[in-house]
Structure 1
């Protein structure tokens, strides 16, 4: 495999990367929504070629009554569940101002969803978000608010799907440049929502976003971080998809080969709108389709936001989530989100896409300071116990090393 270099130069700072990730995810979500569930051929036929930007609802003026899945046909820049949940999770971070766990979803996220009506894109009206959410997210509310399940086990029994992965990008941003910490925190949070490979995807997506924020990060370094941490079918699917992706530099020719690479691991089957018998059932052999494809599109695009998102959109199937994930990763790498897209999505969805990013940037700095203080306290305690190793020979000068700095 020949590694690809990211397009563009310069080093965006933390605030720019966080804004790029969250705004980029929302825009990707909005672009993919109108064609979600369809095949690349159906998308091309409907739009007279590949989609190159924001388009209207698939069924046009009949979107509220057409089936499936009335009344939530999207288009014209409307975001979906993923963005609404992402912003809700940001509000949880804003309240807690520290790392989160499964209990944070029970104590903060679910009450937020149940008590705060939002203007919901699609039906164009104010409603509680669970009225708009898909089955897995309704299950989250049912298990935690009504079933009083242990938050660490509440995800058992729900669909193993993209539900948790699609809104955990903020976890990667709060743990910026630390994929391992992001992975662990996301797995803990996602225990309240998902199990099996759905939960695994949430951890790996957060790790990928954290890896993308690192200085000099590239699509290759993001994929490497994912392969280092991912388990079972999720790891295999990412590896196989990205191996194929390295052979392409335009999304049109990559669509079929990427689908063929992920198909053995995707449980939903060839018809996304008519899932197979084994769809979304727990398994160590399977993976959600969306995360490997998003990483594949990141590789194909060389990290370019527009290319990665449009490739994800034209892939079809679960392309709203794919484009949101690819958009978060490309944005975190520093590739600029087209302002005309962001402005249209913000206005159409009646959302401030930039305020959540400012909140996450503040929280990330506070959490970093807390982590540093906690680590220093442990270092002092560990040293007092006589557990600190002798570092005098850790980097001996005769081997070309340098002494460890404090």
Structure 2
């Protein structure tokens, strides 16, 4: 079994811990965006390929894998990944923050249909990887375009629209806001994210969305550690997702640096990953529904959080140099380390903000206001229920 609590706690050496809600929420969202931008240019490659391309491990912001040929080297994905540009992970995360800003309450699958999809389809924004203003719909990838096809054109029931989509981390990658609105309530974050993600994913892709949101909620809990975050995930996760997290984190607890952990973490998650050893040439079983499997990204992100002891720089660089879907892995690890309070290096956040032409801090300010409003609503709803239950003769407050 995976060690839990203090048994897998590591001492972080990345600077002072933050404590206020706004700092934790902002740290998580900025941390996710910076991790995304650092991982983007090496996404899809192996640790050995990354080391050969960059003459060593990636230690910060780097340029496109194919240099000036980024527009034509991969016709299916003609995106400027690198130079501090965020990818669709961040575009979708910020889009979900905007939905919370509109609704000012908990979300469900209908909020995706009523607010998120129209935003993707009708509001042009600066898209860093396209170096142009465009609809976010033109940048999001196939698994996210599914949202538009199923909800805007197919008129599917939002709660079931995710069925039939490829099963990947597409929903999980932008669920950090759900965990932040449900700060310190992992079980509530899990349930809300599962409802939201029903519009986008099914099977272990949907499960990963719920567990990642729970991990973020656990990370902003006072006194949280990487070990307590993993423990919260193991309490909630189901089927292959739980087994994959357990296997990866058991291995991660034996390592104190990402270099030694790169191969062991991949070996630990491989039995649960459907993509196979060649990320760019997926197996026939790739991304199909299953109760036995899991997305690779979330367990590895949690593993890197343990290996790093919660230190932001180490967690993100470990995720980036792991390769494969490393922009999403680094997005998740960055969100979790930031939520724990480990500072995001200023030289990275400033570079990413300027290169991507984004205010990385504004979403944090917005979501903090929403989180406080939602908390106040929850308190009123809970007290109303307590009074009603007391009047029915149950135990509880009657005043």
2:8 matches 1:3:
yes
1:148 to 128, 147, 155: 155
Preserved CA contact (<8 Å) 1:169 1:205: yes
SS of 1:79's equivalent? coil
CA RMSD of aligned residues (A): 1.4
1:272 is matched with which residue: 279, 288, 292? 279
Matched, 1:298 2:305: yes
Which residues in structure 2 correspond to 1:253-332 (within 5 Å)?
253-332=260-339
Residue aligned with 1:126, SS: strand
* 1:4-403 equivalences in 2 (<5 Å): 4-7=9-12, 8-67=15-74, 69-388=76-395
Q: Give, in whole Å, the separation in 1 of the partners of 2:396 and 2:37.
A: 52
- 2: CA distance between counterparts of 1:218 and 1:249? 15
Offset at residue 5 of structure 1 (A): 3.0
Asked whether the 8 Å contact 1:267–1:286 carries over to 2, the reply is yes
Change (3 A) 1:282 1:45: same
Q: Distance between the aligned counterparts of 1:122 and 1:140, measured in 2?
A: 21
Partner SS for 2:126? strand
- 1:6–1:219: 8 Å Cα contact kept in structure 2? no
Q: Is the 8 A contact 1:11 1:216 kept in 2?
A: no
- 1:259-294 per-residue CA deviation (whole Å, 9 max, x = no partner) reads 000000000000000110011100000000000000
Q: Counterparts of 1:232 and 1:155 in 2: how far apart (Å)?
A: 19
Question: Which stretch has the larger CA shift, 149-158 or 71-80?
Answer: 71-80
Structure 2 distance, partners of 1:133, 1:292, is 23
Task: Note the residue ranges of structure 1 that are not aligned, 5 or more in a row.
Answer: 391-405
1:320 is displaced (CA, Å) by: 0.1
State how far apart, in whole Å, the 1-side matches of 2:104 and 2:200 are: 21
Kept in 1: contact 2:386–2:396 (CA 8 A):
no
Q: Please, what TM-score do these two structures have when normalized by structure 1?
A: 0.95
CA distance in 2, matches of 1:4, 1:152: 38
* C-alpha separation in 2, matches of 1:86 and 1:351: 13
SS in 2 for 1:119: strand
1:12: Cα distance to partner? Answer: 1.5
Greater than 6 Å deviation, 4+ residue runs = none
Q: Is the 8 A contact 1:58 1:73 kept in 2?
A: no
Query: Secondary structure of 1:49's match?
Result: coil
Deviation, 1:6, is 3.8
Inter-partner Cα distance in structure 1 for 2:89 and 2:8: 31
Q: Which entry has the higher C-alpha Rg, 1 or 2?
A: 1
Give TM-score, length-normalised by structure 2. Answer: 0.96
**Matched positions, count:** 392
